[in-house]
Structure 1
Amino acid sequence: MDIRFDIIIDYLPLFLKGTLLTLGLSLAGVSIGLLLGLLLGLGKMSARRLVRLPFVWYINFFRGTPFLVQILLIHFGVVPLFMKPANPIVSAIIALSLNSAAYIAEIFRAGIQSIDKGQMEAARSLGMNHVQAMRYVILPQASKRMIPPLGNEFIVLIKETSLAAIIAAPELMYWGRAAGGQYLRVWEPYIMVALIYLVLTLSLTALMDYIERRLKTE
């Protein structure tokens, strides 16, 4: 099999540009997802069934349907209601954030519920209200246990950005498809794209392992 390195060289600046957008989409998605996920997780733990149900439905929908379907619905159905024409980057950020929030909500819920109930009772006995006890006692302890699954979610999100190519967001996979279409070649562009994703995910895995080790020593 002959390998055409000229294809990789020609598209290398675009691959790098797409990589930066991939990282930007992932960071935006996980950042917004963290905020939404915390609210969703707390909402799902509500003692009131009517309050809890909308959060449960949201989480079930976004965890139970394919991300490809979600991004298509958001880009062609939701975003055009507020922006015409729909911006694929905006659509990708919204879709990634909403999808990520559903998974992060479960991470927050599991992390909070893993803390002994006596911690909340002790905080309340010291005069803290529920919000203060969550902020100063429960969440700081739970956060250490949540870092590994949150890191895994970030890694998954990096790979899910590849589906944004379907709505023409110029991220990494978009340029891989463009190179494949221009040169009618599969191996060179897609192997290059796969290697870049591999470097990103392995680097993030190493970073999360380092953070986890540091937390264990504290």
Structure 2
Amino acid sequence: MSHEMDWHAVWLQAPQLAKGLVFTLQIAFAGYAASLVLGLLVALLRMSPWWPLRSLAFAYTQFFRAISIYIYVIWIYFGLTMVTGLDLTPFAASVISIALLHSAYLSEVYRAAIQGVDKGQREAAGSLGLGRVSTFFEIVLPQAMLVAVPQLVSQFAMIVKDSAVVALIGASDLMAETIRAANLEHRTFEFYTTAALVYLALVIAVSRLGRLLERRLSRQAH
């Protein structure tokens, strides 16, 4: 039997889908911000002169990169609540899950970029009287961030895609609204196709903005 398309159903549910999209973006941005900060901290611990801190950071990256976002979301929202009694909202659980997973990846991006900065610049900064902290934040980190921009943008695109999993715990994101609308209207193909196109558009937009940012930073550097 052929399936007769009815895209009008998608239009009728557009306001709810738009609300889901806004919630998806809120989760993605919050999770990304947390990942950036936590990832930098882990990267610095990986480069610490003290081996216990290096070992701890290494274990962190290996552990959290080895587990699926699917497991994180379920475990944190349901398991952590049962063990600790914390009453996490779907939003909070989603952001924590994204931050744990993607900070482990971002820490390696940071570490590679920081180690790629010429050591001579650190020595030159020291000869000018700059301390280690000032040298890092004023000389090393800005150059490392410039190098890391493509990977940082790529990681945000991954976060946008991973955010679809949070529908599992009742978060009213784009995927959750898509599932609800598809079941309500009995138009699975139309709604899931629409969701796929929205996610595709988001990833393309992020990639293009990343390239524009990279070119702009490169011009400023020169």
Shorter-chain TM-score tier: over 0.9
Query: Counterparts of 1:1-218 in structure 2 under 5 Å?
Result: 1-79=3-81, 81-84=84-87, 86-218=88-220
Structure 2 portions without partners, runs of 5+ = none
Deviations 1:167-188 (A, max 9, x none): 1111001111112222343211
Name the aligned partner's letter for residue 29 of structure 2.
Answer: L
User: Sequence identity, in percent?
Assistant: 33
Name the aligned partner's letter for residue 29 of structure 1.
Answer: G
4+ runs deviating over 4 angstroms: none
Mapped partners of 1:189, 1:96: distance in 2 = 25
User: Residues 27 and 163 of structure 2 are in contact (CA less than 8 Å); yes or no, is this contact kept in structure 1?
Assistant: yes
Mapped partners of 1:55, 1:198: distance in 2 = 34
Mapped partners of 1:79, 1:139: distance in 2 = 37
Bigger shift: 1-10 or 161-170?
1-10
Q: TM-score, normalised by structure 1?
A: 0.94
Aligned Cα root-mean-square deviation (Å): 1.4
Q: TM-score, normalised by structure 2?
A: 0.93
Per the TM alignment, residue 216 of structure 1 is displaced from its structure 2 partner at its CA by 2.2
SS in 2 for 1:28: helix
User: Residues 80 and 86 of structure 2 are in contact (CA less than 8 Å); yes or no, is this contact kept in structure 1?
Assistant: no
Name the aligned partner's letter for residue 36 of structure 1.
Answer: L
User: Residues 6 and 187 of structure 2 are in contact (CA less than 8 Å); yes or no, is this contact kept in structure 1?
Assistant: no
